[in-house]
Chains A and B, each alone.
Chain A
């Protein structure tokens, strides 16, 4: 079954430092992967998806099939980036499967 794993529960960095939120997936075919973000007390929002290969709010994520990873990166973290980040994929039934989430804390 498809699964995504986010090994870090909490990631704390200083403002201006590079950020990498890890996500690994298990899927034998070509996965469709997403990153969602939830700011404090707000709803879940789509941040980016791998098929669009776009950069949102300075974040990028590259699908690495060799490492089965889809890590989320940003070269210079901002305080407003502090939030919960969820990696997700679809299962065979079309249901979105979320990782456990990583809390990003950007300190001034």
Chain B
């Protein structure tokens, strides 16, 4: 069965550069969540989208923005990168059905800012 796809899997950037991370949810899933996991830390929720609209917002810096497109894939845009942005970014997708729904996690994109 198709799983959540993230690209790229690894990314190396320099300070002040820009990065774009992509998340392709499981087919027919309409909800996408983005998490940031720093080294040795728990995942921190960044932002989520439901039916192409932002549904929740967490500790996402103003330098970051995200959106969900008509095919439900989502992109996380990160500008003016800082060393502290080095982390694993993973997304999860689910099918909102009005009740608790299983979140399926992608493999993550490991970002290294030099």
Instruction: Known A43-B48, A46-B42; judge A96-B103 contact (CB<8 A).
Output: no
Contacts of B78 in A (CB 8 A): none
Instruction: Known A34-B42, A94-B40; judge A103-B102 contact (CB<8 A).
Output: yes
Any B CB within 8 A of the CB of A38:
yes
Contacts of A98 in B (CB 8 A): 105
Asked whether B102 lies within 8 Å of A43 as measured between CB atoms, the reply is: no
Bound Cα distance from A94 to B101, whole angstroms: 26
Asked whether A96 lies within 8 Å of B55 as measured between CB atoms, the reply is: no
Asked whether B35 lies within 8 Å of A84 as measured between CB atoms, the reply is: no
Any A CB within 8 A of the CB of B100:
yes
Instruction: Known A44-B33, A95-B108, A96-B37; judge A103-B100 contact (CB<8 A).
Output: yes
Any B CB within 8 A of the CB of A83:
yes
> Of B58, B96, B105, which contacts A41 at CB under 8 A?
B96
Interface residue count on the A side (C-beta < 8 Å)? 21
Any B CB within 8 A of the CB of A60:
no
Any B CB within 8 A of the CB of A82:
yes
Interface residue count on the B side (C-beta < 8 Å)? 25
Across chains A and B, the number of contacting residue pairs, with CB separation under 8 Å, is 50
> Of A43, A83, A84, A86, which contacts B56 at CB under 8 A?
A43
Among B39, B40, B100, B101, find the residue whose CB has the most chain A CB atoms closer than 10 A: B100
Give the residue name and chain of the B residue nearest to A101 (CB): B102
Bound Cα distance from A82 to B39, whole angstroms: 31
Instruction: Known A96-B37, A96-B42; judge A84-B88 contact (CB<8 A).
Output: no
Give the residue name and chain of the A residue nearest to B100 (CB): A84
Write out, one digit per residue, whether chain A residues 10-34 have a CB within 8 A of any chain B CB (1) or not (0): 0000000000000000000000001
> Of B40, B58, B103, which contacts A101 at CB under 8 A?
B103
Among A34, A41, A86, A94, find the residue whose CB has the most chain B CB atoms closer than 10 A: A41
Any B CB within 8 A of the CB of A39:
yes
